Chains A and B, each alone.
Chain A
Amino acid sequence: MCRIGAIKSRHYVHPSQALLLMQSQQKGHDNSGFAMVMQDLGGIFENYKHLPTLSLACTDEGLQIAKAIMDARGFRMVHEWEPQTNRQPGLDIQAMPHYVFQTFDYPETYADASQKDKEELLLDTRLELRAGMEEDCKGFAYSFWPDVVTLKEIGDPRDIGTFFNIWEADDKFTAKVITAQCRQNTNYAIVRYAAHPFFIQGYTALANGENTFYQKNKEFQQNLHRGYIGFESDSQCFLYTLHHVHHELGWPLPYYKHVITPLPFEDVVKREDQQQLLALRQSLAHLEINGPNTIIGVLPDNTMFTCCDAKKLRPVVVGRDEDTVVLSSEVCGINEILPNRNWETDIYPNEREIVVIDNNLEVQRWKQ
């Protein structure tokens, strides 16, 4: 099954660390792809933190379409980076012609716009880009958000690293938060969008498992928000639920866990807040997950968390040292990145908690 991992650090970290983290778990995935989202960017993006960056993989034609859309919406490009790719023969990768990371200034009409209006604009623009390039796979718009870049590719993660020259650490392309997945493409034809992590309006989520409630989740979510589209992977639902609970309903993060894995009735009735918990369970019954899953998520303020399904059917470990916290499906991943940590403080989250890492790198365990 897929392996997932995440790094959150005080210092800027190069994605080679994420590759290492995933590579040691190689037995657990099938080499069909690698994807990562980097947040809180350093290096060449450090000066543009307040402006949205678009992450694209596309053909020439796709690039034209994207440009036309961005122009029409009045975005002004202030920075562009196309990573040097290494198109050597023999690499197991289904590369696209272009990988483009473009940072834009907001349209002039948005000079005085509220935060919310800007957030909606960014989402709508990404959806338009996605739709515009969809036909004949002219391109993929993974994210369009300040301080975020996304890279997804089909192929062997090792070769993907070579292709993008990201085995060699440098200080140009770094971030303080990196989430990554090595995929195993069991159920679906390979679709680029299906690779985790998924991203919407500052929220990132990735999962290791299957969503047996996919049908239920999807049927409910597709009417909840215009941004809840695609459903290329059954785990995409977890992102949408996170966004719905935290962003749309405005409920604090602990309630996410109550929604996806509600307490059994016999436990709810013992709680002081039973009224609220029951109301939640009733109203959002279709967002429950009941199958085997571990979820890693990042909130717009870069808070990172992980939680599991209600029966704890999938593994996850949290390890740390002074400056870095690493989350991984298997402990060997953490050993690779933090070989000298005190492994006795590793956390194996249980089925009824959320492990949260805030921006001071404080690790908290919240009991559901």
Chain B
Amino acid sequence: METVKINDIACNDLPWKIQYHPERCTLCGSCIAACTFDAIGPKMERRRITFTESATPEPKTRFTAQPVIAQANKIKNFCRGCGVCERVCPNNAISSSRNPDSRFNVVYATSTGTGPKRGGRNNLEVQARTLDTLRVGRISQMTDPSLDAQRHVFDCLAPLGRILPANSLPFDQAADGNLVQKGHTPPVHWIYPVIIGDMSIGALSWRMWEAIAMAVAYLNEECGLPVRMCSGEGGMPVRLLKSRYLKYMILQIASGHFGWNRIIQAMPDMVEDPAGILIKIGQGAKPGDGGLLMAAKVAEHIQAIRGVPKADLLSPPNHQGLYSIEESVQKMFLSFNAAFKFRVPVAIKVAASATSVSVFNNLVRDPYNIVGGFFLDGIDGGTGAAHDISLDHTGHPSVSKLRDCYLAAVAQGRQGQIPLWAAGGLGKTGNLAADAFKMMCLGANGVFTGKLILQMAGCLGNDHSRCNACNTGLCPVGITTQQPVLVKRLDPERVAENIVNYFLAMDVELRKLMAPIGNSSLPIGRSDCLVSSDKAVADRLQVQYVC
């Protein structure tokens, strides 16, 4: 008897298992061609066939070698459950199903000596979200009528930029009594309250990036929605830096300072100021860890933009050399502010964590009036790659932290002076309008989102560990890869159209929520509008409890 190799990897060790029906399969090869992970391949199987040749049954046996499609039992080529094979199979002969008895975390570590990594979704704690226990509960009735979402004018804009307290506004009174402005005030831009979050040009394929940029330009110029998008760490193409579309872009400067060189070099040729600068201190999905860009994704143009050779690129966990809020953030703010001559708001992004409120408290006292926004990123967010362990086991949800920051501002009478922007799993259920609205009621001025944008583009991944292979450079739909063959799978026009349509739908939905509370401006801080059916949530967030 053959030795049984118990210690080899078997398909039932892996997180996903292939369901294959040879009787339906015509061996067209579509699934194999489509599976970017090489998780399935052709294989010969020896089959025993019983047949009869006479009129009465006279069973005979024959053995044949028959080609089939089989799952690869290799740790490198494990099936991600992306379902692309099922999509392309003309005969419904193949699909993948989750393996509840997977030993993946053990076998991966034991055979590779390293922990698994994946594209950024947090999979461990998939449960009802805090936001879903909240409802908009103050509905205007007879004495305070609700509005007509279709007809009334709504002011759906949010500030990005440092807002001075009224008694520090540099106002003088003219002879006719009117206020006239004397002196400089920090730049403030009123923009759409949903920013497309910081996803880098290295993480996304060029078509995907182009598609988002296209959607943003369309939303601004054709739909009248002043939507802004944020570059991730790694700058952006010089052509875009020098184009008039730069005004829709918030430039991110992260810990690796990738791309900053190019931005500086392009400055003399810029025809527009960027919409803002976002200094990334931390990110919510993997706080305290850096973003990973695998060598597989560092294509030639990425090397050029980032100014680095092909290698695994890690954005360091923090800005090296910045070790105190007071000293270093000031220094950064001053230099980035100065770079654009104090015309561009400079905001900061931190991860929701036990200390984020302290950071916010510190910034709110900002004596230089240069902190143009506080972006708070929670655990459920993240599109970039990271180690499983960081994604699953670090971080903090954003809802209560956002609330804490807002209430900290309230306690000091400084609400609104540094606009609060929040993210992290918003729109996870597909409805960003509701999430954004609730976050605003809790104190956010606006929200930002990344992952949902991928989903609009056709990302197959989900929060139950489906796909999430953004780190591999093998994204089956061409969103997070730089391989030309795969990138071609993505139709940028369609993606742009999807994003535009989603924003238009969301805009209507936002009004549909503002109307019943009788609000024609964004409901910032209107926690009186929310109720929670969960006592703990109600107490923690200081909203009304209903049952």
Contact = CB atoms under 8 A, between A and B. Distances in A.
A283 B178 contact: no
Interface string A283-321: 111101011100000000000000000110100000000
B164 interface: yes
A282 B188 contact: yes
Nearest to A258: B179
A251 interface: yes
A140 B173 CA distance: 39
A265 B518 CA distance: 18
A219 interface: yes
Given A265-B155, A265-B190, A282-B163, A223 B412 contact: yes
Given A282-B163, A283-B165, A265 B171 contact: no
B33 to A, nearest CB: 52
Nearest to B153: A264
B181 A288 contact: no
A282 B159 contact: yes
A216 B166 contact: no
Interface string B72-103: 00000000000000000000000000000000
Contacts of A283: 163-166, 169, 416
For B138, B163, B164, the residue with the greatest tally of chain A CB atoms inside 10 Å of its CB is B163
Given A219-B415, A220-B413, A311-B520, A279 B525 contact: no
B37 to A, nearest CB: 49
B324 interface: no
B114 interface: no
Interface string A228-249: 0000000000000000100011
Interface stretch (B127-135, B140-148, B245-253, B301-309): B140-148
Interface string B167-179: 1010101000111
Contacts of B412: 223
A68 interface: no
Contacts of B167: 248-249
Nearest to A252: B177
Contacts of A191: none
B525 A219 contact: yes
A330 interface: no
Contacts of A291: 140, 144, 518
B179 A286 contact: no
Interface in B508-547: 517-521, 524-528
B164 A279 contact: yes
Contacts of B171: 251, 276, 279
A263 B310 CA distance: 53
Nearest to A251: B179
B75 to A, nearest CB: 54
A248 B413 CA distance: 15
A249 B171 CA distance: 10
Given A220-B413, A311-B520, A280 B143 contact: no
A210 interface: yes
Contacts of A255: 179
Contacts of B525: 215-216, 219, 286
Contacts of A313: 144-145
Contacts of B520: 264, 290, 310-311
A42 B130 CA distance: 61
A96 B413 CA distance: 37
Given A220-B415, A283-B166, A290-B518, A275 B524 contact: no
A286 B166 contact: no
Given A210-B144, A252-B177, A282-B159, A216 B190 contact: no
B157 interface: yes
Contacts of A252: 173, 177-179
B527 A215 contact: yes
B106 interface: no
A1 interface: yes
B330 interface: no
B413 A223 contact: yes
A282 B155 contact: no
B329 to A, nearest CB: 22
Given A215-B526, A273-B178, A279 B518 contact: no
Contacts of B416: 282-283, 285-286
A216 B163 contact: no
Interface string A199-225: 000000000011011111001101110
A216 B524 contact: yes
Contacts of A292: 143-145, 518
Contacts of A216: 524-526
A212 B144 contact: yes
Interface string A249-261: 1111011000000
Contacts of B315: none
A77 interface: no
B121 to A, nearest CB: 35
B55 interface: no
Pairs of residues from A and B, 7 with the lowest C-beta to C-beta distance, nearest first = A223-B413, A215-B528, A283-B166, A252-B177, A282-B163, A219-B410, A216-B525
Given A210-B143, A290-B520, A291-B518, 9 more contacts: A212-B144, A216-B525, A220-B415, A251-B173, A264-B153, A276-B171, A279-B164, A310-B520, A311-B520
Interface of A: 1, 186, 209-210, 212-216, 219-220, 222-224, 244, 248-252, 254-255, 262, 264-266, 273, 275-276, 278-280, 282-286, 288, 290-292, 310-311, 313
Interface of B: 138, 140, 143-145, 147, 152-153, 155, 157, 159, 163-167, 169, 171, 173, 177-181, 185, 188, 190, 410-413, 415-416, 517-521, 524-528
25 contacts: A210-B143, A212-B138, A212-B140, A212-B144, A212-B518, A215-B525, A215-B526, A249-B166, A252-B173, A252-B179, A264-B153, A264-B520, A265-B190, A266-B153, A273-B178, A279-B169, A282-B164, A283-B164, A283-B165, A284-B166, A290-B521, A291-B140, A291-B144, A292-B143, A292-B518
